[in-house]
Chain A
Amino acid sequence: MNSRERLLLALNHKEADRVPFDLGATVLTSIHHKSYRALRIYLGLPDVQPRIVDIFQQIVSVDDDMRKRLKVDVRDVAARSSAAFRIEIKEMPGYTYFYDEWGIGWRMPVEGGWYYDMFDHPLKDIQSIAEIENYNWPDPADPARFVGMGKRAKHAATVEQHGVFMGGLCAGIMEMAAWMRGFANYFSDFANNEKLLVALMRQVMDLKMGYWEKALAEAGEYVDVVNEADDFAGQFRMLISPAMYRRIVKPLHKELFDFIHARTNAKLFFHSCGAIRPVIGDLIEIGVDILNPVQVSATGMDSAELKREFGKDITFWGGGVDTQRVLGDATLDDVRADTRKRIEDLAPGGGFVFATVHNIQGNVPPENIMAMWETLQEFGVYN
């Protein structure tokens, strides 16, 4: 059985020979360059300079030798940057920083920094919808983004026979609204400036549709999974109420997901961190096929309960080990026990792609990563 067949069986809720494994097919299931380099050395692989695939999170493109060593089943065919934009990293006291193609400012501490985080939000001061319309938005359909994408997807699917994952244009419609407005403004908008918020989310959605139109025309026939996202929950509960989600955002999500489904047979992968259990049923209803990262440490997100309640209707891509409380600093026995529990909870009947809960962080020792992986090899096997 090849990797692509293995993935497709899992996504269709059937048991393959073993649970498919993802490391690095998405910017949500990858690994920080520091722990990646340490893992390469630990495994005796050449100490190459890691290729950063996502500058914000400082995560890598997992090299072919590592993919082979760890039997990774999925590969990504990401779009490239638009030709009109080039990232320029500059320095300010204590930080390096840059502005992305949306005009959002990001910085990372020179000393002790792990990631780039936002410090400047281009629409923080706007008062009117006209200012959204007049903003200098990136061109989602710039042909430079899609150069070679179809070829890469075809090669991955038919020659390498990997599962093929296609990333999106940008973060989710809520997330982009938050990042453009700044978090405090964004949350206030939910309560007292709904029209502006919806106009902003719709603007981002239009750009996303422009992207998906092109990307799926270019490579859709070889793509198994497409990626959308929106974070709107915290550790213990949702950040906005389920009722507010249903009234304001869900119709937009539905419109976007319908648009995508109309253009591809690929499954829709939706990333959403935290305690989102109250709306998992809503997500299923509007066309989400796959849920990520399955943050098992958040309230209401126990893997066994989720499988019982939603396992027939949604695939869990993630949740393989608790990265928040276990993978980084628990004992190797704890890592093995947690990994085994998650596999036993989520694997039966298919509908499970093994990945850590979000990216493997930079301080995770290689021994822990391999304890997780060895547990997957031992227990992630179907009879």
Chain B
Amino acid sequence: MEPILQNLYDAIMNGEANSTPGLVNQALNQGLPASQILNEGMIAAMNHVGMLFEEGEFFVPEMLIAARAMQAGLAVLKPHLAEAEVKAAGRIVAGTVKGDLHDIGKNLVCMLLEGAGFEIIDLGTDVAPEKFVQVVQEGRADVVALSALLTTTMPNMKATIEALNNAGVRGNVKVMIGGAPVTQAYADQIGADGYAPDASRAVALAKSLMDA
């Protein structure tokens, strides 16, 4: 790997948000293509982070600072990716369902998806089904990602899928769900396309849904 990309990779692994923008700029100044910087220096690092999380080596703090470092670097790289017409891995509209205001899990999922090269539209928390429907109707998403922390708000995942059905756009997108009370059985029951138990596996799921 180019030394500068190795430095960028290490900075993301170590969660050094202060140094990643400078390293991205250095890599650009050395004439490296934006897509190579993204894939080798950044996405690869986040893949490694995800692996360490799944192995129980990393926990939320380590994963979060890595994701923040990734985001800081990405802010610099984005215009160059657009200029080079580098396509996102997919477009995901995400949000915590209606009645539920919890966002730490959802935010972490969004950061990791972004770190894996996805374009994210984050609708925030307490998101009404119609808002998801609107984004899908506008053709701005390949995947709808729904989060809920509560047994009391989880039924709004089902309501959101029904709203997509009623609007006739369910077939246009894949739906993935997650959150503490959510299970694969619940995903099957409400007709979601997938469930992931944590942010790292949400990335793998999103990739597989894009390939499906």
Contacts and interface: CB of A to CB of B under 8 A. Distances in A.
B20 interface: no
Interface string A330-369: 0000000000000000000000000000000111000000
A184 B64 contact: yes
Interface stretch (B3-11, B23-31, B150-158, B166-174): B150-158
A324 B62 contact: no
B180 interface: yes
B181 interface: yes
A188 B65 contact: yes
Interface stretch (B37-45, B75-83, B101-109, B133-141): B101-109
B153 A239 contact: no
A219 B180 CA distance: 38
B101 A117 contact: yes
A347 to B, nearest CB: 25
A362 B150 CA distance: 11
Interface residues of A, number: 35
A382 interface: no
Interface residues of B, number: 26
A112 B16 CA distance: 40
A109 B61 contact: no
A208 B43 CA distance: 44
Contacts of B198: 234, 236
Contacts of A42: none
B91 interface: no
A175 to B, nearest CB: 13
Contacts of B99: 109, 112-114
A107 B60 contact: no
A189 B68 CA distance: 12
B151 A363 contact: yes
Q: Which of B59, B107, B180 has the most CB of A within 10 A?
A: B59
Interface of A: 94, 107, 109, 112-114, 117-119, 183-184, 187-192, 234-241, 244, 274, 323-325, 328-329, 361-363
Given A184-B107, A361-B151, A362-B152, A244 B101 contact: no
A109 B65 CA distance: 31
A191 B101 contact: no
B104 A244 contact: no
Contact of A240 (B59, B107, B181): B59
B61 A114 contact: no
22 contacts: A94-B126, A109-B99, A109-B101, A112-B99, A114-B150, A114-B152, A117-B101, A184-B104, A187-B61, A189-B61, A190-B61, A191-B65, A192-B15, A192-B65, A235-B197, A237-B56, A239-B60, A240-B61, A324-B181, A328-B151, A361-B151, A362-B152
B59 to A, nearest CB: 5
A190 B64 CA distance: 10
A189 B15 CA distance: 12
Nearest to B111: A184
Interface in B140-195: 150-153, 156, 180-181, 183
A236 B60 CA distance: 12
